[in-house]
Amino acid sequence: MKFDWHTACEKHWNRISDNWQANSQEMWDTGSRKAILPVFTPFLNPQKGPVLDAGCGDGYGSLLLAEKGYEVVGVDIAEQMVERAKERMKDDLALSFTKADLMNLPFEESSFQAIMAINVIEWVQSPLQILHQFKGILMPDGMLALGILGPTAAPRQHSYRRLYGDEVVCNTLMPWECGRLLEENGYCIIHQEGVYKRGVTDDMTAQLSIELRQALSFLWVFYARPAA
């Protein structure tokens, strides 16, 4: 039987939805994702239009953004993730969630002022196709916050079995590859920064080149706009 990436990926994220929800709040509040919204939101304007949270998981990051006054649309491939995310919806927030495959997003061109996609494109069959889709649904001066697993990130273990010839749903995309892919396909990187495992201090990384900082990272986040 031919391997179906979409189905396998959906099963993977449904299977780990309980564990994900148990950890998502900590990731956004005090963990690896805590710096994303403070960097991201200065590029945004609540009056300009909606923000897409692509691969929203249980919706906690979407909720934080909506609480800052933004209209947020969250999408995820896993039904169980979307159902958990919908529990975060409130009457006084412009927050909605829908099940969708990022390889086939159900939105018209120039629909969003910004897209937040954190640890997402590693889990799609074609990261390049996703970047083209994102560019199409972004407004011309829109902003993309794109987070990718760094080389030291434990979730990279999900791609390991490919070495035995097994079909897996996790790509091995490296930060330097992601940056090059962005720049070669119509994006201008405005800012980028990393998150490191405990024990790595600012003093250790301050004098390192960007390539070495990427090599040490647990998470690397690009902030990019469609090139003029």
Would you state the pLDDT for residue 64?
A: 98
Q: Is 94 left (phi over 0), alpha (psi -120 to 50) or beta?
A: beta
Concatenate the DSSP letters of all residues of 62-73 into one string: HHHHHHTT--EE
Instruction: Walk along the chain (228 residues) and give the pLDDT tens digit of each residue.
Output: 789 999 999 999 999 998 888 899 999 999 999 999 999 999 999 999 999 999 999 999 999 999 999 999 999 999 999 999 999 999 999 999 999 999 999 999 999 999 999 999 999 999 999 999 999 999 999 999 999 999 999 999 999 999 999 999 999 899 999 999 999 999 999 999 999 988 888 899 999 999 999 999 999 999 999 997
Q: How many CB atoms lie within 10 A of CB 77?
A: 23
Q: Write the pLDDT tens digit of every residue in 155-204.
A: 999 999 999 999 999 998 999 999 999 999 999 999 999 999 888 888 99
Distances (CA, A) of 170 to 7, 84, 126, 156, 219: 13, 23, 11, 7, 15
| Helices 17-29/5-15 angle, 10° precision | 70
CATH architecture of the region 5-226: 3-Layer(aba) Sandwich (3.40)
Per-residue pLDDT, 175: 97
Half-sphere CA count of 227, side-chain side, radius 13 A: 10
What backbone phi and psi angles, to 5 degrees, belong to 203? -60, -35
The 10 Å Cβ neighbour count of residue 34 is 13
E strand spans, 9-164: 51-54, 72-76, 95-99, 112-118, 138-149
pTM reported for the whole predicted model? 0.95
Closest CA to 46 of 75, 28, 72: 72
What crossing angle do the helices spanning 79-86 and 5-15 adopt, rounded to 10°?
50
Strands (DSSP E) contained in the chain are 51-54, 72-76, 95-99, 112-118, 138-149, 187-196, 217-226
Quote the pLDDT of residue 199: 85
